[in-house]
Chains A and B, each alone.
Chain A
Amino acid sequence: MRVRRVRAAVRGLDPATYLQPSENVLASLPRHRASAVPAFVGILLAWAGSSTAAVLVSLLLPAGLRLPVAAAALALLLLLHASLAVATWLRVATSRTTITDQRVYHAYGRLRYLLLQTTYDRVTDLHVKQGLLGRARGYGTVVVQTAGAGIALVGIPDPFGAKDRIERAREAHVRTLIAEHAPARAAATASTAAARGAGAATATPGGVDAPAAGAPIVQPWQGRPTASALLPHVAPPVLLLVIGLPVLMLLGTVSRLAWPLSAFLIFSSLGALRAIVRHQTSRYEVGERGVAVSVGWLSRRRVETTYGKITDTTVEQGLLGRMLGFGQIRINTAGSNDVPILFEGVREPEAVKAILDAARRQAQA
C-alpha cells in the first residue's frame, strides 16, 4: 500500500485531470531523466562549498565549541541538500508536457504542483535550447513564448520533434480559427452593408468599423478631476493653519516646534499647489477608438492608447473617495511596466468604467 502511494506521488498528475473535455492529445511527453544531472551537479557543488565554509567558520570559534558547531552545521547542510536533491528528483519524475490540438500544458509536482497552460493563438514564437549533455542524451528545452510570458518545457525528449509538433498543432489551430472567422466576417459585412444602405449607421471620422446595427452607440466621454478629490491634498496645510497653529499657540509650544512646523507647512503647501495645478490642467477622454489623458501646465503631456492595447483596468476608491464619490481608474497596456493612463479623482469611477467598457465593446464589434 505504501509502495503504491510512493509510486503515485512520483508519477505526477494524470493529464486526464486537467485536459479540457473536447481536446485531442497529440503528444504526452515525460521529462528526460538525464535532464536532472546538471541540477544534481549544482546541488553537489553547493553542498561541498557550504560545508567547507561551515568548517572554516567553526575554526574561528572557541576550542570547546568547534566540534559540536561544525558537526551540527554539517548535518544541517547535508539534510538541506539531500532534501533539495529529493525535491529535484520528484520534480523531474513528475514533469509532463502535453500537446493537444488546442493547447500546450506543462505540469510538475504532486503534493505541491504547478500547471501551466496556454492556447496556440497566444503563442508568439518557439525557442529550442540544447546543451552538450542534452545533445548527447537527446533532450532539450522548448520555450513556448507568449507576449510577456512563456512556458519553458524543460528536459523534453527530442526537442526539435516536439517543436515541430507544436508548430503543426498551431497551424491547424489557426486554420480552424480562419474557418470559424469566415462566416462571422461575411455576416458582419452583410449586416454593415445593410445598415449603411438604410442609413442607420454612420461611419466614424477615424475610419473605425461602424458599430453593429441595433447596438446602442456609446457617446464619447470627457472629464476632469472632481474638486472633492483635492481634499486630501489641500486639507493638511489648511488644517495646520486653521486648527494646529492656534492650539499650539495656546499651549505655548510654537517656538519649540518652529522648524518642523515650517517644513511641514512648506512641503504640504507645495504638494497642495501641485495637486491644484494637476486638477486644473488634467483632461480625460474616452473616445470611439481609445482613451487619452492630458496633463500639465507649463509642460504638457498627453498619452493615448487604443482599446485593443489595453490589458487590464483597475478602479480604486479609498475610504474618503467612497464617502465623497470619487476614485481613480488605472488603464494599463503591455507597452511598459508603468501604468500609462491614470484617471485621478474621477467622479463616479464605476460609471466612467462602464462607459469605457461599453466603448471598448463597441470598438471591438
Chain B
Amino acid sequence: MSADGPASGAALGDVAAPMEARPSLLAAVEVFGRVAGTLAAVFAPVVVFGAAARPGPWSWVGWTGLGLAADLVPGLVAAAIPAVRLAFTRYHLDDEGVRVRTAFLGRSERRVPWGKVTLVRHRRTLLDRLFGLSRVEIVAYGDRGAVLHLTGLRDARPVRQRAAMQMRRSASVAGLFRND
C-alpha cells in the first residue's frame, strides 16, 4: 500500500494491538548508490585525465574499467553491511511508543514513547518510488532528542496513521504545561 491509497479507518485495525513492520532489503541500494556515486565523482576526472595522458587503443577501456571497479566494489561492500542489518531489523509500534530493534551479532533497541514524538515525516525518494518503498521518520525533539528512521517500508501508511493516532491519544493537559 502506498500513501496514494485512500485513507480508511478499517485499515488501521485495533489500535491497542501492537504492530510490527520489517524493512525491505532494497533500502540498502540507496547506500550503494550514495557510495558508488561519490566514488564515481572522485574517479571520473582520474579516468578522463588518465586516458588523455596515456593515449592508446585500450586506454579508455582500461581506465574506465578501473574507474568502474573502484566505484562498484567499495559500493557493494558498503551496501552489504546495512543490508545485513536491515535483514535483522524490526519496527514495533505499540501503545507506549515506537521501537527499532536490530538483533544480528550484537543487539540494539531504540525506543521513543509517543508522548515525546513532536513530528512525523513521511518521505519517498525517487529510488524508493522505483522499488515501491517509502520511509517514516519519527521525530522526538529533533536534533536535541531522537529521530527514528523507519526505512524500507513497503506499506508506510498504516505506520504513519498509527503514529498520528497514538500522538493524539498521548496528548494530555499535563503535556501542554511540560517545561521542556
Contact = CB atoms under 8 A, between A and B. Distances in A.
6 contacts: A117-B160, A119-B168, A122-B117, A147-B145, A148-B145, A332-B145
Interface in B118-136: 118-126, 128-129
A321 B107 CA distance: 9
Given A119-B167, A317-B108, A114 B180 contact: no
A315 B167 CA distance: 23
Contacts of B121: 114-116
Interface string A165-187: 00000000110011001000000
Interface string A100-120: 001100000101111111110
B149 to A, nearest CB: 13
B26 interface: no
B87 interface: no
Contact of A111 (B129, B143, B157): B129
Contacts of A361: 96
A121 interface: yes
Interface residues of A, number: 57
Contacts of A332: 145-146
A99 interface: no
A315 B107 contact: yes
- Which residue of B124, B141, B178 has the most chain A CB atoms within 10 A of its CB atom? B141
Contacts of A333: 145
Interface residues of B, number: 54
Contacts of B124: 109, 112-114
A315 B113 CA distance: 15
Contacts of B113: 310, 312
A21 B144 contact: no
Given A115-B122, A122-B167, A181 B172 contact: yes
SS class of chain A's interface: helix, strand, loop or mixed?
A: mixed
Contacts of B7: 16-21
Nearest to A333: B145
Interface in B81-140: 96, 105-113, 116-126, 128-129, 139-140
A174 B172 CA distance: 9
B164 interface: yes
A13 B146 contact: no
B83 to A, nearest CB: 19
Contacts of B109: 314-316, 353
Contacts of A150: 119
A318 interface: yes
B141 A149 contact: yes
A302 to B, nearest CB: 21
Given A114-B124, A312-B140, 9 more contacts: A16-B7, A18-B160, A21-B9, A113-B122, A115-B160, A117-B120, A121-B175, A310-B116, A317-B106
Contact of A148 (B6, B107, B108, B142): B142
A327 B143 contact: no
A202 interface: no
A319 interface: yes
B6 A17 contact: yes
A274 interface: no
B4 interface: yes
Contacts of A177: 171-173, 176
Contacts of B24: none
Interface of A: 13, 16-22, 102-103, 109, 111-119, 121-122, 146-151, 173-174, 177-178, 181, 308-319, 321-322, 327, 332-337, 353, 357, 361
A102 B161 CA distance: 13
Given A115-B3, A147-B118, A327 B107 contact: yes
A112 B126 contact: yes
Contact of A181 (B105, B146, B173): B173
Contact of B141 (A147, A308, A353): A147
A337 B143 CA distance: 7
Given A114-B121, A117-B120, A316 B112 contact: no
Nearest to B112: A312
Nearest to B140: A311
Interface in B28-55: none
A149 B108 contact: no
Contacts of A314: 108-111
A17 B5 contact: yes
A249 B145 CA distance: 52
Contacts of A357: 96
Given A117-B120, A177-B172, A319 B126 contact: no
Given A311-B116, A316-B108, A119 B6 contact: no
A256 to B, nearest CB: 34
